[in-house]
A and B are shown apart, each in its own frame.
Chain A
Amino acid sequence: MKANGKLGTARTCAVFISLSALFVLAVLWSINSGSVRIPVREIWRILFHRGAIERGELAADTSAFNIIWKIRLPRLLLAAVLGGALSLSGFLLQTFFRNPIAGPFVLGISSGAKMFLAIVTIALSAWMPSIPVAVTVAAAFLGSMLSMMFALLFGGRMRNMSMLLVIGIMIGYICSAVTDFLINFAREADIVNLTHWSMGSFSAASWRDVKLSALIVLPTVFCVFLLSKPISAYALGEGYAQSLGVHVRRFRVLLILLSSVLSACVTAFAGPISFVGIAVPHICRVLLKSSKPIFMIPVSFLCGAVFCMGCDLIARTVFSPTELAVGTVTSAIGAPIVIWLMVSRRRDETQ
């Protein structure tokens, strides 16, 4: 048993170290790639001598400086923060539904957030030209909660994987239908941003977005981490959790709130991004060979960040100068992982 425990710890450390290395690699690679080539030494100088360059003590290419500091870096960091948030939101939903394919996109939660955003954008565009970020986040949060309620109402009592999936997809379709309906009858000018946004993209990232999203996501992640003990007790089911002293009802409300905050934040800043919430936690479980929340929570966040940075890199470089929506790339990579997950589970169940 001892040997087993040590092996587990070694594995966890290895996963942490390799993910951190991948994170650094993804950052460097993302900064280094794009339509404008910048030499690595120049990037280094621009990154680590920002103050000196700004004060004019060091000479540097101004356009390169602007590309790195104003475009690539915020985009990269936004992808990292929101990717981590999505993955963790998926992990929480999987814990809640005790179902490995639960995720914000599959359950129709992202679509609900998108619908509310469309309603708010169109409704308010008559009075204000640009909608405050706080309002977008609040609208997305409300939409998330509402579709989550529907998923809970119809699918919550079903432990059956396929029924939950079907209900989530239906909620997603209903929300998309409403959104499309609104867009059809909206004025062109009101919805320019909306159509772009509804594809899911990190391309318009600004430092303000990065700061705001980090301000929402990081404290939420911290709260989730504090919940890791009751989450582990919940793994054996409600009955056992309750008998161990967990306030089950309070705990379930917390899970829903935290996961909604995370997925709503992603939807508000980057639009609906699919499959990250299912695929990444699953990859993490396979890597860790464990589902202990105390490891799963940080690893899911880190892995989600790396995954989304990687997907964004692919989205903007593979068909450059044409840029793909990041949602396209996450679907192309995430969906096969979900299929694999379902097939391997089915095999387990029939055995």
Chain B
Amino acid sequence: MDRSYFELRGLSVGYGGRPILSDVSLDIRRGEIVTLVGPNGSGKSTLLKTVTRRLPALSGKIFLDGEALDAIEAKRLASKMAVVLTDRVRPELMTCFDVAAAGRYPYTGSFGLLTKRDREIVDAALAQVNASDIAGRDFTSVSDGQRQRVLLARAIAQEPEMIVLDEPTSFLDIRHKIELLEILRAMSKSDGVTILMSLHEIDLASKVSDQIVCVSCGGVSAGGRPEEVFSDESVRRLYGLERGFYNAALGSVELARPAGTARVFVVGGAGYGTPFYRALQKAGVPFYAGILFENDVELAVAAPLAASVITAPAFDPAASSRLSEAQVLMDGCDTVIDAGCPANGINSANARLLAYARSRGKRVLSGPPAWKEAIL
């Protein structure tokens, strides 16, 4: 059975009657991870506030497990849906255990006293986010990453069917980002918890999500699998990227290519060229790259950064066919960098290219750090 667990139907969200996003429709199945991506101010948070009932919908319907969201009584909704917010939380004199235990609110009696079972659930939630060791510490004294995990434990202790997270990875370093997303992944797969969140990192979003929803000013795309939604071009459009570059296959981001006429030619290959491309980009020096086989790992870096790249079909020993093209570009340069890729066997075309450079009296640099000063 493939019924939607959470549905948005023609939803409009915004403040004071003015819609920021309109006509949003979305189907989320139980246990799915759905991520909203989009630029700052596009309305991701507003949408999340509306689906968690912090903000009334301007029009349209939201259904949770077949029930209209606004008809669900507050306490019962609290046992179905938990949140992790961007609000900065600075509670006074509360341990991490106390903060996580706040998630038991919908289940405790009229004075909020924890039973033995409640304590066990909170302990288990803390263990699930690897925060058992800090349970007794003051919440304000632990690091941002630990705090975020404790807030997630709070949501888990609420025993919800669905967790809504607003940019849970902001302020976290890369290790904690990965840890947090792995915990979410595990929850959705093993416990069938449905997860709806917004993320800034599109590279991580495509790796963790079952569905991606692009939110850009005024409109929301239909949800789709990351590989359907993300293409180099769609990400460019979503974020209005004019200068940088997003590589959908690798999920990596590159800064803008240096402007101007290239006077430097990098002879790379097999990853040797990558540090040179990045260094030249940072220094703002435009450059050519070649001759790279089309399956070369460094092509993903060279293509967005180099003014022009000479490529040859993979495993083609006759790369020499492109040699003359490379030589034309090289004629316009005064410096050639030998990135150090062994230029023999299948790569012999590059050996010939370097020989050509020397014969034409070009400055040929190889290996750090000597080349660095030469460029700058």
Contact = CB atoms under 8 A, between A and B. Distances in A.
Instruction: Judge: A and B partners, yes or no.
Output: yes
B110 interface: yes
A236 B102 contact: yes
Contact of A291 (B74, B93, B110, B154): B93
Give the interface size bracket for A toward B: 20 to 34
A219 interface: no
B113 interface: yes
B87 A240 contact: yes
B92 A229 contact: no
A239 interface: yes
Nearest to A3: B136
B91 A233 contact: no
Nearest to A286: B93
Interface in B82-119: 82-83, 85, 87, 89, 91-95, 97-99, 102-103, 105-106, 108, 110-113, 119
A129 interface: no
B91 A245 contact: no
Contact of A229 (B74, B95, B112): B112
B214 interface: no
A245 B87 contact: no
Contacts of B95: 4
Contacts, number: 84
B58 interface: no
Interface in A274-289: 285, 288-289
B53 interface: yes
Contacts of B83: 239-240, 243
Interface in B167-213: none
B111 A245 contact: no
Interface residues of B, number: 37
A242 interface: yes
B56 to A, nearest CB: 13
B87 A242 contact: no
Given A100-B92, A229-B111, A290-B93, A239 B74 contact: no
Contacts of A128: none
B102 A232 contact: yes
A235 interface: yes
Given A229-B111, A235-B91, A240 B77 contact: no
B135 to A, nearest CB: 5
A240 B102 contact: yes
Given A1-B135, A229-B108, A239-B87, A245 B123 contact: no
B106 A244 contact: yes
Given A232-B112, A240-B83, A247 B91 contact: no
A243 B92 contact: no
A244 B85 contact: no
A247 B87 CA distance: 18
B53 A242 contact: yes
A240 B102 CA distance: 9
Interface in B59-82: 74-75, 77-78, 81-82
B52 interface: yes
Nearest to A235: B91
B278 to A, nearest CB: 37
A148 to B, nearest CB: 22
A228 B81 CA distance: 23
B85 A294 contact: no
A24 interface: no
A245 B106 contact: yes
B85 A239 contact: yes
A291 B140 CA distance: 13
A244 B112 contact: no
B148 interface: no
Interface string A223-264: 000101100110111011011111100000000000000000
A136 to B, nearest CB: 35
A233 B112 CA distance: 9
B74 A245 contact: yes
Interface in A297-351: 348
14 contacts: A1-B123, A100-B92, A229-B111, A229-B112, A235-B102, A239-B85, A243-B82, A243-B83, A244-B102, A245-B74, A246-B74, A285-B93, A289-B93, A348-B140
Given A236-B99, A240-B87, 13 more contacts: A229-B108, A229-B112, A235-B94, A235-B102, A237-B89, A240-B102, A243-B82, A244-B78, A244-B106, A245-B105, A246-B105, A247-B74, A291-B91
Q: Which 8 A-B pairs have the closest CB atoms?
A: A245-B78, A229-B112, A244-B105, A245-B74, A245-B75, A243-B83, A291-B93, A4-B136
